[in-house]
Chain A
Amino acid sequence: MTLSRRAATEAWRLLGHLKETLGHPRRASWAVRSRRCRQCLYFMRKMLAAVSRVLSGASQKPASRVLVASRNFANDATFEIKKCDLHRLEEGPPVTTVLTREDGLKYYRMMQTVRRMELKADQLYKQKIIRGFCHLCDGQEACCVGLEAGINPTDHLITAYRAHGFTFTRGLSVREILAELTGRKGGCAKGKGGSMHMYAKNFYGGNGIVGAQGQIFEAYNMAALWKLPCIFICENNRYGMGTSVERAAASTDYYKRGDFIPGLRVDGMDILCVREATRFAAAYCRSGKGPILMELQTYRYHGHSMSDPGVSYRTREEIQEVRSKSDPIMLLKDRMVNSNLASVEELKEIDVEVRKEIEDAAQFATADPEPPLEELGYHIYSSDPPFEVRGANQWIKFKSVS
């Protein structure tokens, strides 16, 4: 193994030398004429191919990984992030943060998985394999992945209907999520919950809640009164279904609307900003100071749900602009490549792997059988012995077990 690596390093250095030579205009012409140089080149190519084959056979790493692993990447890099607007707070999250290579790759993979999963769900919905309601969160990946990066797996999370990203970051596999969307047995809620009702350990859904404007103020009051360690998060994607925030809210400074609860406004398209803000908020709550409010300024590329084209209340130009300037995956990728935390090829490779995983999951979700009809009545009550559920006519009854 070591031998092969040394050989690979040699080969790489020689290639570098050749690149220099060929790059130089005068030397290049000599080099091409020189048969020896050309022979070197051919020999090098062959050796590299052999070496990579050996390595891929030995450790099952794809060919390009061989080269990549040997290149020197930085272990971590420091980045500057946008300062958060504060409400009733003396100081906010830090403006610089350190991202390690490992974390960076992990976040990239997770965000890419969420993005691909949402696009696959879009595709399946248009093929009518997914029915019902489907609220996609592509564009908002930095929110769910950044949030998860800032909290512990033992913390509890609950959200509203745009929940696929959070379901994934909280630990469920893409297979289970897509199978739940298609309403099959293998889904996380056995196919009975659908898009809006996905649950996992320490993740309470997924709720079809809409119009909780009054309820949230009651929750703020109780949380502040009893100093509950609760972070209230508003993913402000600028539109409530089809109404822009300027037309729906008397005050669009959502981070201030907790009033007596301190708040911060965070750039929700930058995963590092979200992570730092979440860490700050979590530390605030854990220290016993009570609840805190976080507004994440983000954007969704799709419409509110699959039945909303998303262009009747906003322009395509606006969507394109956000996609080209502040796409969260693109931002992370640029940062990592520019600070030598990863290479473009490596990230492309992650893309390929993620694509394959999603394809497999979609295959499973399409092929898995639906739950049996008897399950219609299950789990209404916790009941022992099972009781009968009446229905459309007197002679058909379902048994309800739990």
Chain B
Amino acid sequence: MAVVAAAAGWLLRLRAAGAEGHWRRFRGVGLARGFLHPSATVEDAAQRRQVAHFTFQPDPEPREYGQTQKMNLFQSVTSALDNSLAKDPTAVIFGEDVAFGGVFRCTVGLRDKYGKDRVFNTPLCEQGIVGFGIGIAVTGATAIAEIQFADYIFPAFDQIVNEAAKYRYRSGDLFNCGSLTIRSPWGCVGHGALYHSQSPEAFFAHCPGIKVVIPRSPFQAKGLLLSCIEDKNPCIFFEPKILYRAAAEQVPIEPYNIPLSQAEVIQEGSDVTLVAWGTQVHVIREVASMAKEKLGVSCEVIDLRTIIPWDVDTVCKSVIKTGRLLISHEAPLTGGFASEISSTVQEECFLNLEAPISRVCGYDTPFPHIFEPFYIPDKWKCYDALRKMINY
């Protein structure tokens, strides 16, 4: 069966050299099999699709913040927003469809609790949403804007980059829109395709004046979101949408803060440093345990948490200790944030490096629909890259 499949695959490649030359780039046994025997592989494909590319690993229950409750990611976001609206009388939440609770249920119950002039819908205009948010923030009120998907943040790109980020600088600190926070679902979700799966953090990393924050779990999300709302700079908070239901852990009910611009070393190690953020942290955690089991390699796992301004010290200290660095993210390779980390680390720790810095990222293509399982940097690709680094 496999021999037939392999032969067929070879034939396929030859045929593809003609009109459909682009198929050659996506070499893989699975693809050939799927093409030749669609019925046989539909169940496999369906089964493969239902299994996510990661396994969520909850953190231990935090004891220092009081009573906790089991919450998933969207519930922890609701809890954070609830705390904010209760504490700050000027806080308002707005965006598309937030009034009934939001398409991901992040704002359920808030309109009933706080009133319709604090939680309200906007028309379908991302540029208008962010522009309006900037205006509110400049007057001093706390504005929490929601962009329904991170893929739709691009109409608001001008407002964020040209207005929000530069307001304090260009007015010599006379005015600022620091009390603006923009929340947006982010990252791949298994079936999102081009416009519901993007990770645009790299576009905003290039813009001094804003902060970009991505949590990996409900506990992190609540603390980081509260810090973003209270931070006196405009912040963008990306929420990994695949974790909205999949990630559940014990989260404190009372408000608490997790400091921004601080990376967290989740697991100490001595041989190689793995850096990621958002959903990918769980992928590399699994890679770390695979490496320990199969190669006897001790990995240090770092969750970057804040994309800009990022915690250079933690990452560099770790690389000085281990000598090897692997960075992984879903966004395309070229110009992705891994390139910035890689470049800075080689500047700061050149003589400490034992192997070239490895980046395991998405392909340089638009986020595909049917090819998503092939596109995302899953644990096997990361493991492969790690092995090559160890054997360098």
Residues of A within 8 A of B (CB): 188-193, 197, 199, 204-205, 207-208, 214-215, 218-219, 221-222, 225, 378-383, 387, 389, 394, 402
Contacts and interface: CB of A to CB of B under 8 A. Distances in A.
- Residue picked from A218, A219, A387, most chain B C-beta under 10 Å: A218
Interface residues on B, range: 20 to 34
A159 to B, nearest CB: 14
A218 B132 CA distance: 10
B232 interface: yes
A382 B233 CA distance: 6
Contact of A205 (B162, B171, B347, B348): B171
Given A218-B125, A381-B309, 9 more contacts: A189-B172, A207-B163, A222-B128, A225-B123, A381-B233, A382-B233, A383-B233, A387-B309, A394-B348
Contacts of B233: 381-383
A222 B132 contact: yes
A196 B131 CA distance: 19
Contacts, number: 76
Contacts of A387: 261, 309
Interface of B: 122-123, 125, 127-128, 131-132, 138, 162-163, 168-176, 178, 208-209, 211, 231-233, 261, 309, 347-348
29 contacts: A188-B172, A189-B170, A189-B174, A191-B172, A192-B172, A193-B171, A197-B170, A197-B171, A199-B171, A199-B174, A204-B138, A204-B175, A208-B162, A218-B127, A219-B128, A222-B122, A222-B125, A225-B123, A379-B168, A380-B168, A380-B169, A381-B209, A381-B233, A381-B309, A382-B176, A387-B261, A394-B347, A394-B348, A402-B173
Nearest to A225: B123
Given A193-B171, A193-B172, A225-B123, A215 B128 contact: yes
A402 B170 CA distance: 13
A402 B174 contact: no
Given A189-B174, A394-B347, A382 B232 contact: yes
Contacts of B138: 204
B127 A214 contact: yes
A215 B127 contact: yes
A295 B232 CA distance: 37
A402 B233 CA distance: 11
B292 to A, nearest CB: 35
Contacts of A222: 122-123, 125, 128, 132
A380 B209 contact: yes
Contacts of B162: 208
A118 to B, nearest CB: 22
Q: Is the interface of B mostly helix, strand, loop or mixed?
A: loop
B143 to A, nearest CB: 14
**9 smallest A-B Cβ distances: which pairs?**
A382-B232, A218-B128, A190-B172, A189-B172, A197-B170, A218-B125, A379-B173, A199-B171, A199-B174
A60 B169 CA distance: 44
A231 B170 CA distance: 25
A72 to B, nearest CB: 47
A134 to B, nearest CB: 16
Given A382-B178, A387-B309, A218 B171 contact: no
B109 to A, nearest CB: 23
Nearest to B173: A379
Contacts of B122: 222
Contacts of B163: 207
A207 B164 CA distance: 12
A378 B172 CA distance: 8
B128 A379 contact: no
Contacts of A199: 171-172, 174-175
B230 to A, nearest CB: 11
A220 B162 CA distance: 21
A380 B231 CA distance: 13
Contact of B128 (A188, A192, A221, A402): A221
A189 B123 contact: no
A225 to B, nearest CB: 7
Nearest to A383: B233
Contacts of B170: 189, 192-193, 197, 205
A402 B123 contact: no
A383 B175 CA distance: 15
Contact of B123 (A221, A380, A381): A221
B59 to A, nearest CB: 28
A379 B131 contact: no
Contacts of B175: 199, 204
A218 B178 CA distance: 23
A381 B176 CA distance: 9
Nearest to A389: B208
A208 B171 CA distance: 13
